[in-house]
């Protein structure tokens, strides 16, 4: 938990299917509107969330997401945590490189998501699953 940030009640959801990925997009959009993010920032956050949810499903073997409004005293924002108990990422720098994929994708999901948010953190490692936390602040 980041110091000095008050959080609302997290909205949790499983990520086990393509339909769940669609629901994640809808949930993030709803919370982003409530947090008064601009339309552009809503769309950036939804796009990042969509990529991360897809990774949770495809590489993590499914998992969960939690979406929360946050407030640091200056700004409101939205924080999203994706968690899975899959194989984890052995080389994070490599995984964050544009174009790197082990699944025949474009290899732009993680790196693109990082560029679309204000804060980006990954806790992962071979054999210990993956937890990605992103935050977008209203401006
Ligand atoms: N939750 C995860 N668990 C394990 N490995 C992951 C996870 N998320 C990403 N990775 C690894 O990081 C690589 C890069 O992910 P990224 O989202 O950037 O690309 P991609 O999913 O392969 O392609 P794209 O998202 O562009 O369709 C993946 O190919 C995969 O090897
Ligand atoms: Mg991806």
CB of 63 closer than 6 A to ligand 1?
no
Euclidean distance between CA atoms 67 and 85, whole angstroms: 19
Q: Is the pLDDT of residue 30 over 90?
A: yes
pLDDT in tens, 115-127: 999 999 999 999 9
Å from CA of 10 to ligand 2 middle: 24
What does the angle CA 13 – CA 46 – CA 111 come to, to the nearest 5 degrees? 105
Q: Is the pLDDT of residue 48 over 80?
A: yes
Q: What pLDDT is stored for residue 87 in this prediction?
A: 98
Mean pLDDT of the chain: 95
Q: What pLDDT is stored for residue 14 in this prediction?
A: 98
- Tell me the mean pLDDT in the region 78-84: 98
Stronger pLDDT, 9 or 115, i.e. the higher one = 115
Å from CA of 75 to ligand 1 middle: 31
pTM: 0.96
Contacts of 25 by beta carbon, 8 Å cutoff, 6+ apart: 46, 49, 50, 53
In percent, the amount of the chain with pLDDT more than 90 equals: 94
């Amino acid at each position: 938990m980041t110091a000095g940030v008050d959080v609302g009640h997290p909205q949790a959801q499983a990520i086990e299917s393509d339909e769940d990925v669609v629901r994640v997009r809808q949930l993030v959009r709803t919370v982003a509107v409530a947090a008064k993010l601009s339309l552009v920032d809503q769309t950036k956050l939804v796009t990042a969330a969509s990529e991360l949810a897809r990774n949770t499903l495809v590489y993590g073997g499914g998992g969960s997401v939690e979406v929360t409004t946050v407030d640091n005293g200056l700004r409101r924002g939205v924080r999203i945590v994706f968690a899975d108990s899959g194989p984890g990422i052995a080389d994070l720098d490599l995984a964050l490189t544009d174009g790197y994929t082990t699944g025949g994708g474009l290899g732009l999901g993680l790196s693109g998501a990082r560029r679309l948010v204000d804060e980006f953190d990954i806790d992962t490692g071979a054999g210990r699953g993956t937890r990605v936390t992103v935050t977008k602040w209203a401006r």
